[in-house]
Structure 1
Amino acid sequence: MTAAREAAPETSSILIVDDMEENLVALEAVLGSLAHVVRAQSGEEALKAMLRQEFAVVLIDVMMPGMNGFETAANIKGLDQTKDVPIILLTGAAVDPNYAYHGYTVGAADFLIKPFDPWLLRTKVNVFLDLHRKNHQLVEQAEQLKRLLTADGGRPGVVPAVPDPARTSTEPSYDTDHPSYDTDHAAPQEEPDRLAEIVGQLARLEVLLRDADSSGRTGLADRIVELEKAVERLRTACDT
């Protein structure tokens, strides 16, 4: 198994699985410009690769010796570490009509017949790449909010602005413990306003995570609800 090219740690990766070298070369040529591509020439190699690193999507040829594409997909979906990775199954034109149904029953997200349109394949793969990147952004934002709310042992204090990819905040922050801090000229509403902003951020994250339709992300959404309640308690403490 070889990697098509080195990629930055934050870059999403694609796993392509086929026992034929020429098929791997063709897939790499089509998908290499979209993301980091990793090759595997058997189902066993694919499973080992997926346990070593994270992939945004995996493309598997159905007709492989030993562990075929259906068995490989079933094994991927059977592992907690890899069960949420979307799978696209690929097969030749002379195919059993029941192959597509069989592919969906083992957990495949899509099924393509060779020869496929390169533009169509790129479009389908790009959907999963975008979803993978957005999910990581949501998890990162939720972790940032959690760190903000649990800073200083969870004591009410000045909460910095929540990072928002759509805009950059230039509002000043206030350190009430600093000797030069002037309580007569402090902005008394800034802390509640920022807490209100965090509540809004949490609510939006919760909705996005629940819409993503995954048990793991639903659990994260439930934790965000708890964070919303914690922020409300902080707001009440600031208002009294």
Structure 2
Amino acid sequence: MTTGITGRTAPRDLDASILLVDDMEDNLVALEAVLAALQVPLVRAESGEEAMKALLRQDFAVVLLDVLMPGMNGFETASHIKRLDQTKDIPIIFLTGAETANDPGYAFRGYATGAVDYLTKPFDPWVLRTKVAVFLELHRKNRQLQELLDDEQHRLDEFARRLADVERQLAEDTETAALAGSIAELADALHELRGEDR
């Protein structure tokens, strides 16, 4: 499933998407063919500017970024990605043609701008798919961890609210029986938060 930046894009809460950035149609088609087996949405951008627009509209698990593009090249695009709080943690895999493959300065510059990997075209499809799959799995695990943390925070917030209710009852000199019942409920909640059986 592929969407261009002018087409319908996936919602922000989607589990994972991959951004493909290349100014050459043939390269985008090749990337789509290689990554189709991963069965996640693939979003195209044909320039650094289009890539930035896509990144601001939805979440991505990984960006595959061509180095040499007219206008905003891959290095400049990566620098913009890493400067924004919303996008700075998205892994970038640089893809470069044979004309720059033997120049160590390109690889150094790629890693210096925040790339996690640097592959030369033509690349081994299996290697690229495997590397991308690792970042998809990391993205999924991070989302699961964030959901667990959010759930735990919700439980702690609820506990704090209930504790505040008890403190308010104490301040208002509420009857002892009602206070005792509230304290018992709080004790149960505390044991539940700790995962303990009573």
TM range (shorter): 0.7 to 0.9
Residue equivalent to 1:128? 135
Q: Matched residue pairs, number? A: 169
When the two structures are superposed, what TM-score results if normalisation uses the length of structure 1? 0.63
Distance in 2 between the 1:102 and 1:42 partners? 19
8 Å CA contact 2:91, 2:116 repeated in 1: yes
When the two structures are superposed, what TM-score results if normalisation uses the length of structure 2? 0.76
Distance in 2 between the 1:152 and 1:116 partners? 53
- Secondary structure of 2:156's counterpart equals helix
Residue equivalent to 1:12? 16
Matched, 1:91 2:96: yes
Residue equivalent to 2:71? 66
Deviation for aligned residue 1:24: 0.3
Distance in 1 between the 2:25 and 2:190 partners? 61
Deviation for aligned residue 1:194: 2.8
Distance in 1 between the 2:49 and 2:15 partners? 24
Distance in 2 between the 1:128 and 1:52 partners? 20
Residue equivalent to 1:54? 59
What is the alpha-carbon root mean square deviation over aligned residues?
2.7
Matched, 1:105 2:112: yes
Deviation for aligned residue 1:154: 2.9
Q: Percent identity?
A: 60
Can you give the 5+ residue segments of structure 1 that lack an aligned partner in the other structure? 157-176, 178-188, 199-237
Residue equivalent to 1:182? none
Can you give the 5+ residue segments of structure 2 that lack an aligned partner in the other structure? 164-177, 179-186
Alignment of structure 1 residues 69-218 onto 2, 5 Å: 69-95=74-100, 96-151=103-158, 153-155=160-162, 193-197=191-195
Distance in 2 between the 1:151 and 1:191 partners? 9
8 Å CA contact 2:65, 2:95 repeated in 1: yes
**In the alignment, which of 28, 31, 37 is matched to residue 27 of structure 1?**
31
Change (3 A) 1:80 1:126: same
8 Å CA contact 2:9, 2:43 repeated in 1: no
